[in-house]
A and B are shown apart, each in its own frame.
Chain A
Amino acid sequence: MPQVLDTLDLAFEVNGDAVSVKVPPGATLLDALRDALELTGTKLGCGEGECGACSVLLDGRVVNSCLVLAAECAGAKIVTIEGLAANGKLHAIQQAFVDQGAIQCGFCTPGMIMATHALLADNPTPSEADAKRALEGNLCRCTGYRKILDAVLSLANGGVAHD
């Protein structure tokens, strides 16, 4: 009989800090973040990779953390919504979401912001079409997306006006 593991010991980096967690073998990255590390800023919206509320950065790529097994993340670098603000100051993306009215109920917001982060890292001057494509996997039921896209586009070119 192969040995059955009750828990996995995993070590990875979250928001710049080395962490180690004990999780059940079937735990997702989202479970590890929310339950083991109490990083509850990342939201569970569907658990099936359909809504994007659980988006985080995994080695620089945006992923639905509900679809990634925690076990796959050993040694990886993860950035969550808690990792953006620094020294008591909102990250520029967070500030843009606040200023542009991109937040209503706010449940989709952390995922939207992480997806935006990945987009801007990859393409600092996205067009509206680029922004729509980058965020199409993130559902929002409140804002109708207009102000979210406004926030993203306000950051294009490092915040310089862009059309």
Chain B
Amino acid sequence: MIRTDVATEADAKRTTKEPSFIGKRVPKLDAPDKATGLARYLDDIKLPRMLYGKILFSGRPHARIVNIDTAAAKALNGVRAVITADDIELVPFGFGSDNTALKKGTVTCVRDEVAAVAADTPQIAAEAIKLIRVTYEDLPVVASVAEALADGAPVIHEKAPNNIPFNFDYLHGDIEQGIAESDVIVEDTFNLQRVTHCCLGTSGIIAEFDATGKLTLHSLSQVPFLYTHDLSRIIGIPPQRIRVIQPPIGGGFGSKLDVHPFEPICVFLAKATQRPVRMHFTREEEFFATPTRQPMIIRLRSGAKKDGTFTFRDVKMTLDNGGRTSWGATTPWISMRTFSSLYRVPHVRQDVDVVYTNNIYACAFRGYGNPQATFTIEAQIDSLAEKIGMDPLDIRLKNAQEPGETTGQGMVLRTCGLAECLDTAARNAGWEVKHSGAQKPTHGIARGMGMASLFHVGGGAKIYRSDGCGTMLKVDDFGGVTVQTGSSEIGQGSETVIAQIVAEELGLPIANIRIINNDTALTPWDVGVHASRTTFIAGNSALRAAREARGKLLDAAAAMLKRDADEIDLADGKVVDGDTGEPLESIGKVIRGMHFGGKHELVMTTDFYEPPSKAPDKEQKGDISACYAFGTHVAEVEVDLDTGVVKVLGFSAAHDVGRVINQLGIEGQVEGGIAQGIGYALSEELKVEGGYVLNPTFTDYKLMTTQELPEIKTAFIETQDPAGPYGAKGIAEAPLVPVAAAIANAVYNATGVRITELPLTPERVLAKLQEARGDKSGETYGETCGQPHG
């Protein structure tokens, strides 16, 4: 019997062979359907008798609902249901239990859901929404963190009379000692803006009931099992009577980690009408009525000794939580890990206030608090390096951890390629030549280079009771394999990674592997797509299920061929001699022999993989992930000193990924992360003033386009993590994390001006340059144009 938990001699022999699929450029399994328009996204699905749902949002940042008159809407021809909070049971939900599907009493942000309709067509639904008359009594609006914390500020939720529902405090070491040991200390306040996911496919859901009251949802959730559990409470339907089917998802990036109010609302509409109801957001709704990344104000102090050794970091953060609370409020759990463990720092304190305001609220977004933390840390590392006269690369190398270290927060770095990432990214960027310490010009074009590294979980994160994933694997009589995995495909390519792993283990072509990953009625449990965990966790589970199936096949083939199981292998759909590769029998024939022969055995295996990580203790310390991801990015920029326009010329990224499973996919993850990061750094900001969203369009919310794409060099440092599938760690979120930090450091290198706010728009950069030069507004323009001063 081949054991699946320890490597056998045969496994060892195989690992020295060139893999067939692992590390290769394997096109995504779902790409042909997506390239031809066959992939059926949520808004492509039309069920018989389906109605169209629409929500009335409050449109007011803070107000008391006095009355809702739905009579005219109900009277409109084609309207099948109109519901308000009075029509449903209001079950509090969300991380702060401060949300309900529809709102009763008070609305606390412009996106609060007040009423909803289901109608025969989307047009009638939109018309009906306009006919609902709501009488409000406006309340004083808390438009910023500062206003929320001011004396006598209006209270937004009674259970948080100071408007601070949560703190996320952390400490290792002794800050006073760290200060005493420092030769240089820097302190800055950073202001990180609100950005939003901008999934190209907007949010939506279809809800339908069968005749026995069982609910089927076509849902875009990226965490279908936790979602079923949470939704069940809100809608009062037991989870075992809810089935979640996920159509292809037009982008996630963390936005689909929570149950959003529109989802239970759609269920209530389906219940009220006893017909399928589809709800699908417009782009404008997607901008103002879905959660965003947390805006953060971060005051950071950090210190170093003369030789460059980091001494301490002392962090005070305030998060604009908005008017409700989603899982996103917990992003400081991740930011604290970056403050504590991005490079070696003996003394770290994080003090966080999550603050209610009447702004739209925030949720998870790729990086989960890490881009903000990294931006501040990496800016100050450059400041510390400058103060003590060290090269930014050298000071980072001096403080980079080595494999085997345990960080101050108790995370064990069994593998760690940070130093190699620093060296590689710098070398590929031409750091020695291009990172200039020269005198900064004051006009014309300035070039500069900056770097930043990242630390993130790479082997899941034990935040829930389990961080596991299940797999059910079946090999059919024809050598076809069906893999039912709990993990979800949201465009990131996990489905293909799982197929590669199974194909590698079973010696079958990828075309023989079918992945079922989008139906909770069929798939085993998984936490969901978050924490960059799917390749690592779902990959390990698929690997173990495939190894067990492989063992069964080899045992049966050995008996059939009268050979020892250790002497034979599976390759190219055949049982082959382990040494010579000579084909001995087709795998299909072995399976049929098992099935129809004397043993009457089917080749079906199951696995539940629970990573060897530990839930953090009360102080948030502990080995939360099975492994950790590192990386370094180097950005080269050009700054037009007369207009403030920043252009990213080149990007060099090196990531410790353990091992590459799909070269094509992992490059795509890195390139995509860099693009999102460039948007975060230079152009993206969802502007909210007085609680109102000012720019809910792609014209006014600027994503990176092809025109801003720089030259990108990617490198993968393969540290072969012992816990990872074939040595792999997660990637996913990591490539976005250090981008803005590297760009801001490059802008500093080019101009000598440190900007502590994002995005680095021309207006902001020019203003800071002028401030540094002592210019008066307008003078620069006159000079560059050669015109007389006005």
Contact = CB atoms under 8 A, between A and B. Distances in A.
Same complex origin of A and B: yes
Nearest to B198: A141
Contacts of B77: none
A136 B712 CA distance: 18
A141 B707 CA distance: 14
Interface stretch (A2-10, A45-53, A155-163): A45-53
Nearest to B41: A107
Contact of A144 (B32, B198, B709): B709
Nearest to B703: A139
B36 A132 contact: no
A151 B44 CA distance: 26
Given A109-B34, A142-B672, A149-B706, A101 B698 contact: no
Contact of B31 (A45, A103, A144): A103
A12 interface: no
A47 B282 contact: yes
A84 interface: yes
A144 B672 contact: yes
Most buried by B among A42, A46, A101: A101
A131 B706 CA distance: 8
Given A136-B705, A141-B200, A145-B709, A82 B37 contact: yes
Interface string A39-74: 111111111101101000000000000000000000
Contact of B40 (A39, A40, A45, A145): A40
B27 A99 contact: yes
A135 interface: yes
B672 A106 contact: no
B647 to A, nearest CB: 13
B658 to A, nearest CB: 20
Interface string B655-685: 0000000001101100111111000000000
B27 A105 contact: no
Nearest to A110: B37
A22 interface: no
Interface residues of B, number: 55
Contacts of A139: 198, 200, 698, 703, 705
Interface string A87-107: 000100011011111011111
Contacts of B37: 39-42, 80-82, 110
A147 interface: yes
A141 B38 CA distance: 20
Contacts of A44: 43
Interface in A121-146: 131-133, 135-146
Interface in A9-40: 34, 39-40
Given A40-B40, A132-B706, A94 B665 contact: no
A90 B490 contact: no
B493 A104 contact: yes
B39 interface: yes
Interface in B703-724: 703-707, 709, 712
Most buried by A among B37, B283, B667: B37
B438 interface: no
B653 to A, nearest CB: 11
Interface string B18-59: 000000010110111111111111011000000000000000
B140 to A, nearest CB: 34
B365 to A, nearest CB: 12
B103 interface: no
Contacts of A138: 706
A89 to B, nearest CB: 10
Contact of B38 (A41, A104, A142, A144): A41
Contacts of B199: 105, 107, 141
B16 interface: no
Contacts of B27: 98-99, 101
B239 interface: no
Nearest to B287: A46
Contacts of B673: 144
B251 interface: yes
A101 B25 contact: yes
B249 interface: yes
B583 interface: no
A113 interface: yes
A84 B25 CA distance: 25
B668 A82 contact: no
A85 interface: yes
Contacts of A39: 37
Nearest to A93: B35
A148 B248 CA distance: 20
B36 A149 contact: no
A137 B657 CA distance: 33
Contacts of B697: 46, 48, 50
B674 A109 contact: no
Interface of A: 34, 39-48, 50-51, 53, 80-82, 84-85, 90, 94-95, 97-101, 103-110, 113, 131-133, 135-149
29 contacts: A39-B37, A44-B43, A46-B283, A46-B697, A51-B283, A80-B37, A81-B36, A85-B36, A97-B35, A98-B27, A98-B31, A101-B25, A103-B35, A104-B492, A105-B249, A106-B35, A110-B37, A132-B707, A133-B706, A136-B705, A138-B706, A141-B200, A141-B251, A141-B672, A141-B703, A144-B676, A144-B709, A148-B706, A149-B706
Given A100-B664, A140-B675, A141-B253, 20 more contacts: A43-B250, A45-B283, A50-B698, A51-B200, A51-B283, A53-B200, A82-B36, A98-B32, A99-B27, A103-B30, A105-B249, A105-B252, A107-B199, A107-B251, A136-B707, A139-B200, A139-B698, A141-B200, A144-B672, A149-B706
